[in-house]
Amino acid sequence: MQNSILNFNDYKNYLIKIADLNGAAALLQWDQETYMPLKSANTRAQQLATLSETAHIWATDKDWVTGLKNLAAQHTLEVWEKQNVYVTLQELERKLKLTPPFVANLSRASSMAFNAWQEAKQQNNFGLFQKELENLVNLKIEEAHLIGFDDHPYNALLDEYDPGSTTKDLDNLFKNLLPELQLLVNQLSKKEVSNDFLHLHYPKDQQWNYTLQLLKSIGFNFDKGRQDISSHPFSINFSSEDVRITTRIDEQDFSNATWSCLHEAGHALYEQGLAIEYYGLPVSTYSTLSIHESQSRFWENCIGRSSAFWNYHYKDLQEKFPKQLGNTDLDKFILAINKVTPSFIRTEADELTYHFHVYIRYEIEKELLNKQLQVKDIPERWNELYEKYLGIKVPNLSEGCLQDVHWSHGSFGYFPTYSLGSLAAAQLWNTIQRKHANVVQEIEHGNYANIHSWMKENIYNKGRLYYTNDLLLNATNEPLNTKYFIAYIKNKFEIQ
Amino acid sequence: MQNSILNFNDYKNYLIKIADLNGAAALLQWDQETYMPLKSANTRAQQLATLSETAHIWATDKDWVTGLKNLAAQHTLEVWEKQNVYVTLQELERKLKLTPPFVANLSRASSMAFNAWQEAKQQNNFGLFQKELENLVNLKIEEAHLIGFDDHPYNALLDEYDPGSTTKDLDNLFKNLLPELQLLVNQLSKKEVSNDFLHLHYPKDQQWNYTLQLLKSIGFNFDKGRQDISSHPFSINFSSEDVRITTRIDEQDFSNATWSCLHEAGHALYEQGLAIEYYGLPVSTYSTLSIHESQSRFWENCIGRSSAFWNYHYKDLQEKFPKQLGNTDLDKFILAINKVTPSFIRTEADELTYHFHVYIRYEIEKELLNKQLQVKDIPERWNELYEKYLGIKVPNLSEGCLQDVHWSHGSFGYFPTYSLGSLAAAQLWNTIQRKHANVVQEIEHGNYANIHSWMKENIYNKGRLYYTNDLLLNATNEPLNTKYFIAYIKNKFEIQ
């Protein structure tokens, strides 16, 4: 690597090489969760660790850091160039606090934990995952202390996914959100809504083809991406020209693949919309995970569970699945796909109870991070919180604390971005409707052009030059808050 | 990277990191030829270039080279440790002659050329490939001059695939081989052999399943590997715990997938047989491409086209494809799959005419390398040579000079290893039969245990500590020669 940064072009070329390495690592991860043979977990973990360690070494190289600081001080830079350099410098501060061996350890530990989690989930046996998870939690506590924090170690981890967010902010948002949601859940879950027809037999191949059709219809570009099968749906990218999503198909549950596909597609549209000409630069990188999640929740829920959307798509869907849906009219279908009821699986939860799933994970993570809770006690604590907030008894570990992949990746601090993203989605959706008065009618005609162009201008094109609150302030004139989400829900369920 | 090598363990750890990077690059290549979306060719090329360049920088790092030389001089090393260090040093000499930017350029140029070749082949238009290929040929000429050579620039490139081999050796082997083969081809291609039944309709799914069954039966380990579809079959590995092969299926040609699968399986068994505990070290790396090819040709031909093999498998095959093969007895089947006749496609050629395909490519490559031939004149020269050696008129470019992927990868000097490998396979097979008198009867019972253990002991376990001739000398008591191949062919066709 040529480490001496003299001008913006050197800076750009250096970031491209780091992006190349991160892109390669992402492909190794994608492969690990889709096609990798069983017995190669150890060497794959080793390979990923080397790539992470190298990317880290490059990103924190002394000459590079010096060059970067000199570049930031140059008066010849244009404003947008300065903004890029500024963000790179800011993120560097975090990286400089972690040593390359620590980064490699963490990468290796999470590859190993991922494989242990898969096994544990399949066998419904927390013991198979416990040791690897303890190892990871200890590393994350170490990370929090290396990074440094005010108030709570959790803040150091949150910062990776949503820079600037704190437990104080989150506690506040949840305090505003949950009691109001609780009332709505109590009211709405009493309604008799039948969704049995979503649980008839929907053949795998037909579902797969239908997800591909949905992806095309909302603008996913298959020349710059693909969909595959994995045990936990995810989206990943190696550049904005290669954005991949995965789905899983449950033949007894039509909802599973359909809305997880729309969800991942939201992530993918964002990544495909980033400017390839600035590959590697902050302006060509997603803002925060909360903003990323705002895109997925937007397409999954604001669009994908709306009457307008299915007004356009439902007739065709009925024709594709006449036995399963032939006798169900659009209104019944819309009610069913928006049915509110406490349940065990986060990714299958309705838009309201969803936030309790997130909050429970957030609570457990905070407790793990400040050592109030031991890893071995997670299952008990999990079940206790599900009973407290959702009033349900968790039947087994696979539908309980082993359901999500995140902890096996060491992604502590990640879950809250799901709630933040949902709130942001409603906030963006409110603005779009105000800017484009006919947008709902356009959706009724399968036309998403105004949505795409608004997102492009206000979200995609800003890249990582702004984090959650500043980006929302620019796009919607307000920082992130709960009121648009509550209004969106009340409007959907016609509650005054 | 920690570059100061103090002892064998440091050396090993350093090589592991290089292997990690090369393994990652290999996964990017695999993906490029199997699942990568169309429009991401440019960034993928860029990412591969960065990985190659980095692996090259590490492998040629000054401190590492100094440490390696010091280590080689240490008296405390065990013999096998010394052998590993010696091979690493020897291969380093080649690498030190190429600069990192040259390596990155070459990588980028071959990724681009690969995509151009795919397009050109599909559209039967050499013009779409010409510019990229000219670029690559010029880079390979430059490489030959950077490496240095005696006699012919081609020697510098050959050395990458079969260290020690020269055009003089090859010219000699072909001079011994081709006239004798020519007589045999003339004699055997006159025989009336029907193979029409191999060209009936063989449904894709059924063929796919059959290749999986064959792979299992000869010992391919699916826990440490997989098979996928690609336009040109290949084998690749990211460690001996993750060895992948690809195949293509032609519904009108049963031979295509079946024997290319056995061929790639031979490569894969070799890679899966290398010792994972020495991952990254020469002892855990394949010897030469000629030896690699000896393994693929061994399983494809010596085993896969033998009466003994099909004696065991044919009844089941008939049951799987009763409409296509129900009326064909084993003898007819064996004759058909060994039919000798000049043809256009190398990978589908019989074992005899195969060597003419290789020789033609070898001639063209030599002419390109010493600038006797220009890239734009390849199609004409190709067709001329096919008429001269095989007496056939090439009908189009896709079945002519655009058929093989190799040149698009910049792999000049690679093709001769196909002939060397075929000769070596027959030589190994002769030794195995002498050591294990009952091996043919064992094959008739689907039992390959003695073959696997002989290969493990004499080929796999030697890794890269010996190159072609020394390895064969150890394993068969003779350096590579043509007589066992000629004897093998005469024996197969019962010619005195």
Please provide the DSSP assignment of A264-286 as one string: HHHHHHHHHHS-GGGTTSGGGS-
Residue B156 confidence (pLDDT):
97
Residue A60 has pLDDT above 60, yes or no: yes
Residue A146: count of CB within 10 angstroms of its CB = 13
Residue A231 confidence (pLDDT):
83
With CA atoms as reference, the chain B residue closest to A22 would be B47
Q: pLDDT-based confidence at A5, cuts 50/70/90?
A: confident
Residue A3 has pLDDT above 80, yes or no: no
**Which pair of structure tokens corresponds to residue A14?**
């250096």
Residue A204 has pLDDT above 80, yes or no: yes
> Which run of H or of E encompasses A227?
strand A225-229
Chain B residues with CB-CB distance to A222 below 8 A: 37
Express each pLDDT in B416-438 by its tens digit.
Answer: 999 999 999 999 999 999 999 99
Express each pLDDT in A255-298 by its tens digit.
Answer: 999 999 999 999 999 999 999 999 999 999 999 999 999 999 99
Average pLDDT over residues A338-343: 96
Evaluate whether A28 touches B24 at the Cβ level (below 8 Å). yes
Separation of alpha carbons B59 and B7, rounded Å: 17
With CA atoms as reference, the chain A residue closest to B277 would be A43
Residue B253 confidence (pLDDT):
95
Q: How many CB pairs under 8 A join A and B?
A: 114
Chain A residues with CB-CB distance to B27 below 8 A: 24, 27-28, 31
CB contact under 8 A, B223 and A20: no
Express each pLDDT in B317-332 by its tens digit.
Answer: 999 999 999 999 999 9
Residue A255 confidence (pLDDT):
94
Best probe of the B interface among A29, A38, A40, A284, by most B CBs < 10 A, is A40
Residue A2 has pLDDT above 90, yes or no: no
**Which pair of structure tokens corresponds to residue B379?**
């199609």
Residue B1 confidence (pLDDT):
52
The three-class DSSP label of residue A427 is helix
Residue B2 has pLDDT above 70, yes or no: no
Express each pLDDT in B73-101 by its tens digit.
Answer: 988 899 999 999 999 999 999 999 999 88
Average pLDDT over residues A96-123: 91
Express each pLDDT in B34-65 by its tens digit.
Answer: 999 989 988 999 999 999 999 999 999 999 99
Residue B239 confidence (pLDDT):
96
Residue B91 confidence (pLDDT):
92
CB contact under 8 A, B238 and A43: yes
Express each pLDDT in B364-412 by its tens digit.
Answer: 999 999 999 999 999 999 999 999 999 999 999 999 999 999 999 999 9
Spatial CA neighbour of A382 closest among A359, A364, A396: A364
Best probe of the A interface among B12, B13, B16, B40, by most A CBs < 10 A, is B40
Residue B3 confidence (pLDDT):
61
Q: pLDDT-based confidence at A111, cuts 50/70/90?
A: confident
Residue A203 has pLDDT above 80, yes or no: yes
Average pLDDT over residues B278-300: 97
* Nearest Cβ partner for B242 among A36, A51, A228: A36
Which are the contacts of B486, defined by CB distance < 8 A and separation ≥ 6?
B177, B180, B181
Residue A133 has pLDDT above 60, yes or no: yes
Residues of B near A (Cβ–Cβ under 8 Å) read 1, 16-17, 20-21, 23-25, 27-28, 31, 35-40, 42-44, 46-47, 49-51, 54, 57, 221-226, 228, 238-239, 241-242, 276, 279
Query: What is the overall mean pLDDT for chain A?
Result: 95
* Nearest Cβ partner for A37 among B21, B37, B242: B242
Residue B231 has pLDDT above 90, yes or no: no
Query: What is the overall mean pLDDT for chain B?
Result: 95
Q: CA of A109, closest CA in chain B: separation in Å?
A: 17
Chain A residues with CB-CB distance to B226 below 8 A: 35, 37
CB contact under 8 A, A24 and B20: no
Q: pLDDT-based confidence at B496, cuts 50/70/90?
A: confident
Express each pLDDT in A143-189 by its tens digit.
Answer: 999 999 999 999 999 999 999 999 999 999 999 999 999 999 999 99
Q: pLDDT-based confidence at A86, cuts 50/70/90?
A: very high
